[in-house]
Amino acid sequence: MASTSCFLHHHALSTPTRSSSQRHVFNIKPTQVVCRAQKQAVDDEANVAVSRRLALTVLIGAAAVGTKVSPADAAYGEAANVFGKPKTNTDFLPVTGDGFKLLVPSKWNPSKEIEYPGQVLRYEDNFDANSNVAVMVTPTDKKSITDFGAPEEFLSKVDYLLGKQAYFGKTDSEVRFSIAVI
């Protein structure tokens, strides 16, 4: 059996007393503090108690082993799926019509504007009205894409959909570029 003892002799100040001359007089009383610790020998290993730290470590370890661990699988710019909930894709909305099906960005709204003949659907961006999608249905008697003829001939019929050059004048370009070329 090991034993340790500690003795502390301290002269503590007591509360001041007032004398008739208004001077403070401190009474000094010696005090003694004694600390004593003993380590007892362990006779039986069965009586040893498990420490709280060891019990908590075992509990956390068992919980970690018992849970299903899987990676979060977060792509760049997306939130991690930490708790394993199935992710629903809310970036695009499916739109179906007679003979077509497409996915439109979820932040786009339907538009009532009709730009082209045969237009059955138009969606535009909330922020930028120049970003849009339109679906036009034009009936035809053609059976194959080759029945429309040469690509240049077909494009001349639908060039209003693709845009045309609006400026046809001469340009003064920088030295590296050809003169009068847009």
Per-residue pLDDT reduced to its tens digit, 73-102 = 666 666 666 666 666 777 899 999 998 999
Per-residue pLDDT reduced to its tens digit, 26-73 = 555 666 666 677 776 655 555 556 788 888 898 888 887 777 666 656
What is the DSSP code (8-state) at residue 52? H
User: DSSP states of 75-109 as a string?
Assistant: PTTS---TT-PPPP--SEEEEEETTEEEEEETTEE
User: Which residue do the tokens 């046809």 mark?
Assistant: 168
Provide the pLDDT for residue 99.
87
What's the whole-number average pLDDT of the chain?
75
Q: Which of 91-95, 111-115, 172-176 has the lowest mean pLDDT?
A: 172-176
Under 8 Å between Cβ of 19 and 27: no
Give pTM, 2 decimals: 0.43
Rounded to an integer, the average pLDDT of 20-29 is 57
User: DSSP states of 116-151 as a string?
Assistant: STTEEEEEEESS-TT-EEEEE------SSGGGG-SH
Q: Where are the domains of the chain?
A: 92-143
Q: Can you tell me whether residue 169 is helix, strand or coil?
A: coil
